[in-house]
Amino acid sequence: MIRSAAKITGIGTYVPDSRLTNEDLEKLVDTSNEWIVQRTGMKERRIASENEYASTLAIKAVEDLIKRYNVEISDVDGIIVATTTADYSLPSVACQIQAYFNISHVAAFDLSAACAGFTYGLHVANGLITSGVHKKILVIGSEVMSKITDYTDRTTCVLFGDGAGAMLLEYDEQNPSFIATHFGTDGAGGGHLYRSNLSTAIFDSEIALGGKLVQNGREVYKFAVRTVPKGVKTLLENAAFQHSDVQWFVPHSANLRMIESICTKTGIPIDQTLTSVEYRGNTSSASIPLSLDAGIKDGKVQKGDMLILYGFGGGLTHCGVLLTWTCSEKN
Ligand code: ACO
C-alpha cells in the first residue's frame, strides 16, 4: 500500500485518421500479413500526418477529456507529458500544452521513460499531489512513433503507431485512486532499444544518429516477460491483494504474443486484459491510456473496478500502478 491523496477524474484520447495496414507494409518491406499477425497480433496502426506532432495529438486528447468529463483545467498546476517523440528537444511538449490552453500557474515538463512513460507519469503525479505540493495535474502520453521509425527496416517498421492519451489527477484525500506502485530500471540494457540524438559513443550505430529507432526485439521481449510478471506479483503483495481482486490488467501494448506470455506467467486471464495492439500497434507511452479508454468506451471498465496498468520499454524501464477506477463521464 502507498499513501495516496490523488484521484483520477477523467481520461481522453486521440488517434490520427490515417491507417497503415499490414498490406501497406507488405509494399514497403519484405514482410507479410501472416508474419506480422502471428508474431505481434497487429493488423493496423494510425499514422500522424506531416503536420501532426506529439503536441498536436496531446492537445486533442486533452480536449477529448474536457468534453467527456466536464472538467476545468484552467487551475491545473502541473503538466507531465510522457513522450519519446517530442516536437523539439526544447521546449518541452508540456510547455506547448501550457501555452495552448493558456494555463496560468503551472509546473510543466516532459518525462522520458519510453513505453513506461505514462505509468511513470501517474506515479510522479500521485507523489506530487499526495505530498500536498500540487492539487491538479494533467498526465499525458503522446507519441508520433512514425516520425522516428525507419520504414526500410522490417524488424521495427511493422510495430509502431501514433496516438495520445491524457488523464487528470486531482487532490482528494477521501477517495484516492492509487493503491500501489512498483518501478524499476535496467540501464545496462539501454542498447537494446534506443534512438540517438547527439551521440553514437555508447550504442554502436550510425543509423540512429539524429533520429531513427533501433531495437533488439528479442532482448526487449525477454526483459518484458521476465520483469512484468514479477512486478505484478509485487504490486499485489504490496497491497495484500489477490488476482481475483483485480478486474482489468492493462499492460503496455507492445506485442500480443508477449502479453499472452505475461498473462500465463502472472495467472491473469487474457480476457481480463485490455490492449490496443491489434488496431493501434505499439504507441509507446500512449498505449496504456488508449487501451484503457477503449475498455471504458466498450462498457467493460466501470467506476470502482480495480486495475493494474503496467508499462515497460526502452531504458530499459518498467512501472506498474494498481488503482481503483474513480471516474465516470460528466461526473
Ligand atoms: N517480416 C518478416 N520477417 C521478419 C520481420 C518482418 N517484419 N521482422 C523480422 N523478421 C525475421 C527476422 O529477420 C528473422 O529472420 P532470420 O531467422 O532469417 O534471421 C526472423 O524473422 C525472426 O526474427 P526475430 O527478431 O527473432 O523475431 P521475433 O519472434 O523475436 O519477433 C518482434 C520480433 C516482433 C520484434 C519481437 O521480438 C517483439 O515484439 N519484441 C518486443 C518489442 C517491444 O516490446 N518493444 C517494447 C518497447 S517499445 C518502446 O519502448 C518504444
Are 47 and 67 contacting, i.e. CB atoms less than 8 angstroms apart?
A: no
Domain 178-324 homologous superfamily, CATH: Thiolase/Chalcone synthase (3.40.47.10)
How many Å apart are CA 117 and CA 80, to the nearest integer? 10
Q: What is the pLDDT of residue 3?
A: 86
Listed in order, strand segments (DSSP E) in 157-203 are 162-171, 178-185, 193-194
Q: Residue 305's pLDDT band (boundaries 50, 70, 90)?
A: very high
Give me the percent of the chain exceeding a pLDDT of 90. 89
Nearest CA to ligand 1 atom 19: 155
| Per-residue pLDDT tens over the stretch 221-243 | 999 999 999 999 999 999 999 98
Ligand 1 atom closest to the CA of 116, numbered from 1: 50
Class of domain 6-171: alpha beta
Rounded to the nearest 5°, which phi and psi values hold at 89? -65, -40
175 carries an active-site annotation: no
Are 159 and 42 contacting, i.e. CB atoms less than 8 angstroms apart?
A: yes
Paired strand residues for 46: 19
* Closest C-alpha to 2, from 330, 328, 323, 331: 323
**Pocket test residue of 85, 155, 160 for ligand 1, highest count of atoms within 8 A of CB:** 155
pLDDT exceeds cutoff 90 at 80 = yes
Q: Residue 211's pLDDT band (boundaries 50, 70, 90)?
A: confident
33-40 and 256-266 are packed helices; what angle lies between their axes, rounded to 10 degrees? 20
Domain edges within the chain: 6-171, 178-324
Out of 139-143, 205-209, 292-296, least confident range: 205-209
State the catalytic residue, choosing from 22, 126, 255, 282: 282
| Mean pLDDT (whole number) for 50-65 | 96
Which residue matches cell numbers 494510425? 46
Nearest CA to ligand 1 atom 50: 313
pLDDT exceeds cutoff 60 at 206 = no
Q: For residue 228, how far is its CA from the centre of ligand 1 (angstroms)?
A: 19
| Mean pLDDT (whole number) for 289-315 | 97
| Average per-residue pLDDT for the chain | 94
Nearest CA to ligand 1 atom 13: 155
Nearest CA to ligand 1 atom 35: 217
Q: For residue 256, how far is its CA from the centre of ligand 1 (angstroms)?
A: 13
C-alpha count within 13 angstroms, C-beta hemisphere, residue 223: 25
Q: What is the pLDDT of residue 329?
A: 81
115 carries an active-site annotation: yes
For residue 242, the Cα-to-chain-centroid distance in whole angstroms is 25
| Residue 311, Ramachandran bin (φ over 0: left; ψ between -120 and 50: alpha; else beta) | beta
Q: What is the pLDDT of residue 202?
A: 61
The pocket around ligand 1, CB under 6 angstroms, is made up of: 31, 35, 39-40, 114-115, 154-155, 158, 193, 217-218, 220-221, 224, 254-255, 258, 282, 284, 313-314
Which residue matches cell numbers 517523440? 85
Nearest CA to ligand 1 atom 9: 155
Q: Residue 201's pLDDT band (boundaries 50, 70, 90)?
A: low
| Mean pLDDT (whole number) for 244-270 | 96
Q: For residue 303, how far is its CA from the centre of ligand 1 (angstroms)?
A: 38
Q: For residue 152, how far is its CA from the centre of ligand 1 (angstroms)?
A: 14
Listed in order, strand segments (DSSP E) in the chain are 6-14, 18-21, 44-47, 78-82, 107-111, 136-144, 162-171, 178-185, 193-194, 214-215, 248-251, 306-313, 317-324
C-alpha cell at 288: 496504456
Q: For residue 18, how far is its CA from the centre of ligand 1 (angstroms)?
A: 24
Q: For residue 307, how far is its CA from the centre of ligand 1 (angstroms)?
A: 29
pLDDT exceeds cutoff 60 at 72 = yes
